[in-house]
Amino acid sequence: MTPPTKTETPALLLVNISQLLTLRSPSGNSGPRRGISLKELAIIKNGAVLCSGGKIVSACKTKEALRDPWIRKNRRKIVEIDCAGQVVLPGFVDSHTHPVFVTPRLVDFEKRIAGGTYEQIAKAGGGIRSSVEGVRKAAKKQLADKVLDALHEMAEQGTTTVEAKSGYGLTVDSEIKSLEAIRDAAAKWPGTVISTLLGAHVVPKEFHNRAHEYVEVVCKQMIPLVAKRKLAQFVDVFTDRGAFTAEDTEKIFDAAKKSGLGVRAHICQLSETALRPLLRFRVASLDHLDHVSDGDIRQLAKTETVATLVPGANYFLGLEKFPPARKLIEGGAAVALATDYNPGSSPTASMQFVLSLACTHLKMSPAEAIAAATLNGAWALRMQERKGSIEPGKDADLTVFDVGDYREIAYWVASNHCAFSVLNGAMAASAPR
Residues near ligand NIG (CB under 6 A) are: 98, 127-128, 131, 238, 266, 269, 313, 340, 342-345
Shortest CB 317 distance to ligand NIG, Å: 8
CA distance 18 to 85: 6
Interface pattern 13-52 for Fe ion (x via CB under 5 A): ----------------------------------------
175 contacts Fe ion (rule: CB under 5 A): no
The entry of ligand NIG, Fe ion, none near residue 146 (CB within 5 to 8 angstroms by kind) is: none
177 binds, among Fe ion, ligand NIG, none (CB under 5 to 8 A by kind): none
- Nearest of 228, 237, 229, 154 to residue 192 by alpha carbon: 154
Measured CA distances, 308 to 192, 241, 311, 381 (Å): 19, 19, 10, 11
Q: What does 313 bind: ligand NIG, Fe ion, none (CB cut-off 5 to 8 Å by kind)?
A: ligand NIG
Q: Positive or negative, the Cα torsion across 24, 27, 33, 36?
A: negative
Q: Which residue is nearest to ligand NIG (CB)?
A: 344
Binds 33, which of ligand NIG, Fe ion, none (CB < 5 to 8 A, cut-off by type)?
none
User: Residue 430 binds which entry of ligand NIG, Fe ion, none, with Cβ cut-offs from 5 to 8 Å by kind?
Assistant: none
Q: Name which of ligand NIG, Fe ion, none residue 196 binds, using a CB cut-off of 5 to 8 Å depending on partner kind.
A: none
Cβ nearer to ligand NIG, comparing 112 with 387: 112
Beta-carbon count within 10 A of 79 CB: 12
Closer residue to Fe ion in complex, CB, 157/285: 285
Which region among 118-126, 149-157, 333-341, 376-384 touches Fe ion (by CB under 5 A)?
333-341
CA atoms within 13 A on the CB side of 306: 31
Q: Please tell me whether residue 240 binds Fe ion under the rule CB under 5 A.
A: no
User: Which residue number, 131 or 430, has a Cβ lying nearer to ligand NIG?
Assistant: 131
**CA quadruple 343, 344, 350, 351: dihedral sign:** negative
Is the Cβ of residue 236 or residue 395 nearer to ligand NIG in the bound state?
236
- Rounded Cα distance between 253 and 219, Å, is 9
Element (H, E) at 325: helix 325-330
**What angle do helix axes 351-360 and 366-373 make, rounded to 10 degrees?**
140
CB-nearer residue toward ligand NIG: 238 or 379: 238
**Binding partner selected for residue 193 from ligand NIG, Fe ion, none, CB under the kind-specific 5 to 8 Å limit:** none
**Residue 149 identity (one-letter amino acid):** D
Query: CA–CA separation, 416 vs 351, rounded Å?
Result: 10
Q: Which of 80, 108, 163, 340 binds Fe ion (CB under 5 A)?
A: 340
In the complex with Fe ion, the residue whose CB is nearer, 44 or 358, is 358
Query: What is the rounded CA–CA span in Å between residue 22 and residue 88?
Result: 8
368 contributes a contact to Fe ion by CB under 5 A: no
Binding partner of 127, given Fe ion, ligand NIG, none, CB within 5-8 angstroms per partner class: ligand NIG
Contact of 13 with 80, CB cutoff 8 Å: yes
Tally of residues, the chain: 433
* H or E element at residue 266: strand 262-267
- What's the closest the beta carbon of residue 318 comes to Fe ion, in angstroms? 17
CA 60, CA 45: separation in Å to the nearest integer?
9
> Which entry of ligand NIG, Fe ion, none binds 38, CB below 5 to 8 A by partner kind?
none
8 Å CB contact between 195 and 233? yes
Smallest gap from Cβ 193 to Fe ion, in A, equals 16
Q: Find the shortest distance in angstroms from Cβ 112 to ligand NIG.
A: 11
Residue of closest CB approach to Fe ion: 340
**Closest separation between CB of residue 98 and ligand NIG, Å?**
6
Nearer to Fe ion, 234 or 406 (CB): 234
**Could you give the CA distance from residue 129 to residue 126 in angstroms, rounded to a whole number?**
6
The answer to whether residue 180 forms part of the interface with Fe ion (CB under 5 A) is no
By the 10 Å C-beta count (0-12 exposed, 13-18 middle, 19+ buried), 237 is classed as buried
Spatial distance between the Cα atoms of 149 and 170, rounded to a whole number of angstroms: 23
Please, what is the minimum distance in Å from the beta carbon of residue 303 to ligand NIG? 22
**Contact assessment for residue 3 and residue 369, using Cβ atoms and an 8 Å cutoff:** no
User: Which of 160, 166 has the CB closer to ligand NIG?
Assistant: 166
Asked whether the beta carbons of 306 and 282 are under 8 A apart, the reply is no
- List phi, psi (to 5°) of 26: -70, -30
Pick what 81 binds: Fe ion, ligand NIG, none; C-beta below 5 to 8 Å, kind-dependent.
none
Binding residues vs Fe ion (CB under 5 A):
340
